[in-house]
């Protein structure tokens, strides 16, 4: 069952299930909380699993102006009575997770960065940058923009994972396109600072079939975040959906080592 959490200027739609040490899951761009379905099914018997739609995605409200994903997460933390928790992010969600952990390290027991981006990374001639998708959305309409986006190389390996492909396509079909219709406005992610200053246990997960830039970023994160460990999985960018068993194994071992005790949760 979904619930609403009020944030300044809108609300977040939140799936909150299971009992035990809390873990928060953050989805990637154009997706929503459903992208974590294999993980919620696997971990909600042992953990309190919270997956929400970032503002402008899924069933959460459309932005009315500028907003900060990290600030939204902090409001959510207080609203659902979390003290310390595990934090798992994919792609855009990993960027948000890392920034949150940098600003609130006392809240995060363990950080998982899957298919993460990195500000300042040199992408060279990366295909289909966001501004191109925005131009298609404004010139040709939503369906053309969705098709253009799904042709991005980060989705290429989904052809070998039909269930994951169907899930991603459903989520993209439901995406509001707000961020493409209002390029340069809205979303902000607080500055995460230097990687060397991140002081929480960190697992970096990378699909060995992801595009080169994301694999390079994973190497950088694992090399510069103190004590971080890199897990390579035979999958593409949507690593948790394409290879859920391997991803869940890595995540389960990490959470077992870096989870909170139930009595540490606020009541």
pLDDT, tens only, 43-82: 999 999 999 999 999 999 998 878 899 999 999 999 999 9
125-131 long-range contacts (CB < 8 A, ≥24 apart) are 126/211, 126/213, 127/152, 127/153, 128/152, 128/153, 130/179, 130/180, 130/183, 131/183
What distances in angstroms separate CA 91 from CA 5, 205, 210, one per listed residue? 23, 10, 11
- So where are the chain's domains? 2-120+186-264
* Residues 30-52 as b or e (16 or more Cβ within 10 Å = b): bbbbbbbbbbbebbbebbbbbbb
Which of 17-31, 136-150, 188-202, 242-256 has the lowest average pLDDT?
A: 188-202
Q: Cα–Cα distance between 186 and 246 in angstroms, integer?
A: 35
> Which residue would you say has higher pLDDT here, 28 or 138?
28
Which class would CATH give 2-120+186-264? alpha beta
Tell me if 57 sits within 8 A of 32, measured CB to CB: yes
- Coil, helix or strand for 260? coil
Q: For residue 13, what pLDDT is reported?
A: 98
pLDDT for residue 40 is more than 50 = yes
The verdict on pTM exceeding 0.85 is: yes
Q: Cα–Cα distance between 144 and 84 in angstroms, integer?
A: 42
Which residues lie closer than 8 Å to 150 by C-beta, 6 or more apart?
Answer: 168, 169, 172
Closest CA to 50 of 25, 87, 81, 85: 25
Closest CA to 158 of 92, 91, 237: 237
What distances in angstroms separate CA 95 from CA 77, 164, 173, 174, 256, one per listed residue? 17, 22, 23, 22, 23
pLDDT (tens digit, 9 = 90+) per residue, 135-189? Answer: 999 899 999 999 999 999 999 999 999 999 999 999 999 999 988 887 666 566 6
How many residues make up the chain in this entry? 267
Q: What is the CB neighbour count within 10 angstroms for residue 179?
A: 24
């Amino acid at each position: 069952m979904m619930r609403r959490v009020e944030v300044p200027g809108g609300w977040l739609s939140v799936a909150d299930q299971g009992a035990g040490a809390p873990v928060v899951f953050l989805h990637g761009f154009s997706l929503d909380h459903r992208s974590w379905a294999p993980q919620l099914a696997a971990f909600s018997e042992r953990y309190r699993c919270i997956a929400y739609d970032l503002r402008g995605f899924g069933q959460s409200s459309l932005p009315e102006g500028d907003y900060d994903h990290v600030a939204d997460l902090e409001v959510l933390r207080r609203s659902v009575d979390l003290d310390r928790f595990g934090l798992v992010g994919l792609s855009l969600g990993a960027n948000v997770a890392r920034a949150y952990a940098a600003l609130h390290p006392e809240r995060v027991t363990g950080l998982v960065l899957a298919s993460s981006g990195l500000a300042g990374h040199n992408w060279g001639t990366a295909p289909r940058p966001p501004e191109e998708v925005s131009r298609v959305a404004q010139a040709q309409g939503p369906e053309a923009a969705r098709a253009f986006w799904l042709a991005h190389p980060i989705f290429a390996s989904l052809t070998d994972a039909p269930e994951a492909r169907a899930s991603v396509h459903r989520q993209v079909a439901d995406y509001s396109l707000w961020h493409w219709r209002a390029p340069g406005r809205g979303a902000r992610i607080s500055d995460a600072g230097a990687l060397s200053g991140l002081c929480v246990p960190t697992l970096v997960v990378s699909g060995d079939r992801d595009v080169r830039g994301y694999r390079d970023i994973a190497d950088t994160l694992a090399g510069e975040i103190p004590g971080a460990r890199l897990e390579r999985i035979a999958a593409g960018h949507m690593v948790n959906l394409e290879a859920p068993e391997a991803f869940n194994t890595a995540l389960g071992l990490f959470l077992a080592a870096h989870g909170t005790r139930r009595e540490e949760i606020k009541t």
